[in-house]
A and B are shown apart, each in its own frame.
Chain A
Amino acid sequence: MTEITLDKLLSPMQPTWCPGCGNFSILTALKQALVELGLSMEEVVIVFGIGCSGNTADFIKCYGLHGLHGRGMANAIGIKLANHKQKVIMIGGDGDIYGEGLNHLVAACRGNHDITTLVFNNHRYSLTTGQSSPTSAQGTVSKSTPQGLIETPLLALNIAIGNGAGFVARAYAGKLKQMVELIKAGILYEGFSLIDVQQPCPSFNKEQDYAWYQENVFDLDEAYDPSNQAQAMTDILNSQKLSLGILYQNNNRSAYHKGIPQLNEKTLIEQFPNKVDLTKAIKEFI
């Protein structure tokens, strides 16, 4: 097995993100977290959505699946069921995971599949030049909503907390060290972990720049109890600003694959049937 190092993770491809994009620091935090966890190159799989965030696929060397817009979470679940010893990480944007793929997010939460999801949340569809997204503020003027966005933003974290996700956190691309710690905690959590990473988009979201974030994020204090589901949801609902840290963690729920008896001893891939005897299966047809 090959220990993960920053060198090994380095892709030969040059990132194509805009100067000042939050993606650079999120990628740095992810790599740092993987190194600090002491994982091997072979045991990590990353699934990428479509969008600026999904383009991370080309900028990190790892076992990767760069799927379709919105569907990556469903791929990640299949990977985990086939080989639950893998650390499966899902990377996508707010459009991908909270919009096109919302039903798959809900399914992943309900199942508490052991997948760590990083949502690069810049409140815009940036790769398609800046239309409003499911997390854009009401009234947002964009090329697709020139008269102002009528919808209210999706309460994605409450959807996750309210529907079985075992670990829900919020990070900010401007706080590298905290991001590293949250990503590590998410990967170590055995169950579904959602880490919503707030990030500026300097090209298409002029309203929420670094200065705006400095004013609008705050760290959860030490007295905060992340095990209280109802309180976590209420706080998110009521807070005018964005709290950072572990918002909710359920230590009493086991991951989906633990509920499948045929995976108790070995992963599915370790049980490849070199020999299949149909004697038992044909009994009902005789």
Chain B
Amino acid sequence: MDLESLNWKISAKAGEGVMSSAKLFAKACKKQGLAVFNYYEYPSLIKGGLQSGQVHAALRGATCQRRFLDLLIVFHEKFILDHLAELNERSLVVVNANAFDASKYPELKAKVIAINLTKIARDQGANPLSSNIAALGLSACLFGMDLETMGRVVIDEFARSKEAAVKDLAVLKTAFEITQQFIEKGELQSFGKLISTGVDEQLLMTGSEAIGLGALAAGLQFYSAYPMTPSTGILHYLAARQNDYPIVVKHAEDELGAINHAIGAAFAGVRAMTGSSGGGFALMVESLSFVGVAEVPLVVVEAVRQGPATGLPTWTSQGDLNFILSAGHGEFLRVVLTPGDVEEHYKLAKLAVELAEKYQLPVLIMSDKYILESHQSMPKMILSNQNARFSMLNDGKLGETGLVDGEYLRYKSSENGISLRSIPGQTNALQLTNSYEHDEYGFATEDAVTTKEAVDKRAAKLEALRKDLPKPLYLGSENPEKILISFGSTVNVLREVLLDEAAKNIALIHLPCVCPFPTLELEELVKNKKAELFVLEGDSTGQLAALIKKETSLTNLRSILRYDGRPFYSEDILEFLVSQKLNEQYRLI
């Protein structure tokens, strides 16, 4: 019988290459036409410590990791203990060893077999890291996957010398054959034959890559950042695109430099973005306020990890919500987008770049370690993008403007608060982009009337802006018993919940934008529904629930909170829906 889904995990010490093998396994599943989600966990160090990659692939959709594993591959026996809660009677564990003594693990429910993957790699003259390729060969055999597809995935990824490629394929094939022999001897059982639809139209990428790609599509030409997990993926992705697209990526001296480089580039007329995680973003906050008053178009990505301070560098969180909403002294208009799945990261990054230019304000993209570093399949986007310029004098063209000297005013008052922006290099369009409160030209002012007019002008953008913002998403039952409200990456887990029979009386609401808050839209979605409302968020104090209470007429909200650096699990939410009980990893308030 065809296998329509699988849960696969590989676990080793940091530096042993399992991030690559998990990505390749995910890619191979995607090539067979399945939806894929690939979640990684790793410590904040380079060598040693436990690192894992886990792939959930399913024909009907796979939007998050699943707890119970079909296959777990561990490079070191001791790591079995780290995964006991993910194993049941149906699980198989492959230990990279010559032998395994099950009597040492009385609490272990799964079947375990020892296969020396390192030896398989070594016997083919390959590097010990090729144990990962042996793991892929073994997996291909156990799940009845096409070995040739797997081989192509491996070769494409590493693009090494011909000699190395021959070795890689030999390792893959040998591991496959050895596993086959185990099956033939009855020591192992195949999981079945993973279905292959023959249609491979999806793309597989991380949230970070999707943000980078979306921004590129929108004509991003400048990105500056200082490395900080989990925002670094965007820096790496865009830096590597510099040969193919007209973009300059600057690794700045610090986050103060990073955001100010981007401000300078945006002022000079190119579409610019910066990004960091909580601590680095904290350093950018004064400059964010500058962006607000000076009406500079700028996109800022905040890749949230568990804080406070240095916190848990490689673990997820949504705890910076209030900080992002209020970052910056004084009052100024901002947009905070909170994309959910990888596809939405692409779309909202594209939108962010356009909104920033159109409304001349800071657009923040709040995401988190969980989705930024997970691989997820998504439909192929339209590849050909046309980019127009917004709210710019002479559409941003350098040179003659046709204006006469003294005619142009950078901050000219207007009904919708938007004034045409000139850039250096345009004739008769001098202006001063100013961090001081300023008059219509840009000169500093302390005049009371001018100050009030300037504040009102900037605030006036809100009305037009609202029409361009992404709307809340409603999925599931039309007459739900419970509605689960979340923002950002949590929707991935809730989509998985909705796939379950036990969730047939459930609905979800996902908020892809939390500032300006979609007050009317959210109220409309829950109106006349007699459902209990639950807010799911990755913090300990219920920040989103408090925001909803502040911005809407909704009052009867309960919060399901997780704040231990780990993502929500669909199994836990389903258990809650069935039994009203949450396990101790969560808090219900």
Q: Is the CB of A19 closer than 8 A to any CB of chain B?
A: no
Stretch from A57-65, A174-182, A207-215, A236-244 at the B interface: A57-65
Contact A281 B425 (CB under 8 A): no
Chain A residues with Cβ below 8 Å from B209 are 285
Contact A64 B432 (CB under 8 A): yes
Contact A79 B268 (CB under 8 A): yes
List residues of B (190-238) whose CB comes within 8 Å of A's CBs.
Answer: 200, 203-205, 209, 213, 216-219, 221-222, 224
Q: Is the CB of A81 closer than 8 A to any CB of chain B?
A: yes
Q: Is the CB of A82 closer than 8 A to any CB of chain B?
A: yes
How many residues on chain A are close to B (CB under 8 Å)?
64
The one of B259, B389, B433 in contact with A272, judged by C-beta atoms closer than 8 angstroms, is B389
Contact A64 B442 (CB under 8 A): yes
The one of A8, A63, A81, A270 in contact with B248, judged by C-beta atoms closer than 8 angstroms, is A81
Contact A67 B435 (CB under 8 A): yes
CA distance A193 to B261 in the complex (A): 18
Contact A281 B216 (CB under 8 A): yes
The one of A268, A280, A281 in contact with B222, judged by C-beta atoms closer than 8 angstroms, is A268
Contact B269 A82 (CB under 8 A): yes
Give B484 Cβ to nearest chain A Cβ, in Å: 30
The one of A8, A57, A76, A269 in contact with B425, judged by C-beta atoms closer than 8 angstroms, is A269
Residue of B nearest to A280 (CB): B244
Chain A residues with Cβ below 8 Å from B263 are 67, 74-75, 78
Mask for B414-441, Cβ within 8 A of A = 1, else 0? 0000000001111110111111100000
CA distance A274 to B386 in the complex (A): 6
Mask for A42-57, Cβ within 8 A of B = 1, else 0? 1111010010000101
Give A12 Cβ to nearest chain B Cβ, in Å: 8
Chain B residues with Cβ below 8 Å from A263 are 248
How many residues on chain B are close to A (CB under 8 Å)?
73
Contact A272 B265 (CB under 8 A): no
Contact A78 B268 (CB under 8 A): yes
Give B443 Cβ to nearest chain A Cβ, in Å: 5
Chain B residues with Cβ below 8 Å from A42 are 399, 424-427
Contact A77 B264 (CB under 8 A): yes
Mask for A74-117, Cβ within 8 A of B = 1, else 0? 11111111110110000000000000000110110000000000
* Contact A79 to B265, CB < 8 A, known contacts A74-B257, A282-B383: yes
Contact B219 A272 (CB under 8 A): yes
CA distance A263 to B270 in the complex (A): 13
Residue of B nearest to A16 (CB): B444
Q: Is the CB of A68 closer than 8 A to any CB of chain B?
A: yes
Contact B385 A275 (CB under 8 A): yes
* Contact A278 to B261, CB < 8 A, known contacts A66-B432, A269-B398, A271-B246: no
Chain B residues with Cβ below 8 Å from A13 are 443
* Contact A64 to B433, CB < 8 A, known contacts A75-B260, A273-B221: yes
Q: Is the CB of B272 closer than 8 A to any CB of chain A?
A: yes
CA distance A85 to B399 in the complex (A): 13
The one of A45, A58, A62, A270 in contact with B443, judged by C-beta atoms closer than 8 angstroms, is A58
Give B360 Cβ to nearest chain A Cβ, in Å: 14
Chain A residues with Cβ below 8 Å from B399 are 1, 42
Give B62 Cβ to nearest chain A Cβ, in Å: 17
Residue of A nearest to B286 (CB): A68
Give A80 Cβ to nearest chain B Cβ, in Å: 8
Q: Is the CB of A223 closer than 8 A to any CB of chain B?
A: no
Contact A262 B286 (CB under 8 A): no
Contact B219 A65 (CB under 8 A): no
CA distance A107 to B255 in the complex (A): 13
Contact A82 B268 (CB under 8 A): yes
Give B198 Cβ to nearest chain A Cβ, in Å: 15
Residue of B nearest to A106 (CB): B253
CA distance A67 to B293 in the complex (A): 11
Give B376 Cβ to nearest chain A Cβ, in Å: 11
Contact B219 A81 (CB under 8 A): no
Q: Is the CB of B116 closer than 8 A to any CB of chain A?
A: no
List residues of B (563-581) whose CB comes within 8 Å of A's CBs.
Answer: none
* Contact A78 to B261, CB < 8 A, known contacts A2-B405, A273-B245: yes
The CB with the most chain A CB atoms within 10 A, among B200, B248, B260, B431, is that of B260
Contact A67 B428 (CB under 8 A): no
List residues of B (52-88) whose CB comes within 8 Å of A's CBs.
Answer: none
Give B296 Cβ to nearest chain A Cβ, in Å: 9
* Contact A57 to B434, CB < 8 A, known contacts A85-B425, A269-B269: yes
Contact B246 A268 (CB under 8 A): yes
Chain A residues with Cβ below 8 Å from B257 are 71, 74, 77, 103-104, 107
Q: Is the CB of A222 closer than 8 A to any CB of chain B?
A: no
The CB with the most chain B CB atoms within 10 A, among A11, A68, A285, is that of A285
Give B535 Cβ to nearest chain A Cβ, in Å: 33
Contact A262 B269 (CB under 8 A): no
Contact B435 A63 (CB under 8 A): no
Give B199 Cβ to nearest chain A Cβ, in Å: 13
Residue of B nearest to A74 (CB): B260
Contact A281 B428 (CB under 8 A): no
Contact A285 B203 (CB under 8 A): yes
Mask for B274-293, Cβ within 8 A of A = 1, else 0? 00000000000011001000
Contact B385 A78 (CB under 8 A): no
CA distance A80 to B264 in the complex (A): 8
List residues of A (236-286) whose CB comes within 8 Å of B's CBs.
Answer: 260-263, 268-282, 285-286
Give A47 Cβ to nearest chain B Cβ, in Å: 7
User: What are 12 contact pairs spanning A and B, CB under 8 A?
Assistant: A58-B443, A62-B430, A64-B430, A68-B287, A78-B266, A79-B424, A82-B221, A107-B252, A268-B246, A272-B219, A277-B384, A285-B205
Mark A residues whose CB is within 8 Å of B. 1-2, 8, 11-13, 41-45, 47, 50, 55, 57-58, 61-68, 70-72, 74-83, 85-86, 103-104, 106-107, 260-263, 268-282, 285-286
Closest 4 CB pairs of A and B: A78-B264, A74-B260, A82-B268, A75-B264
Mark B residues whose CB is within 8 Å of A. 200, 203-205, 209, 213, 216-219, 221-222, 224, 241-248, 250, 252-254, 256-270, 272, 286-287, 290, 380-381, 383-389, 396, 398-399, 405, 423-428, 430-436, 442-444
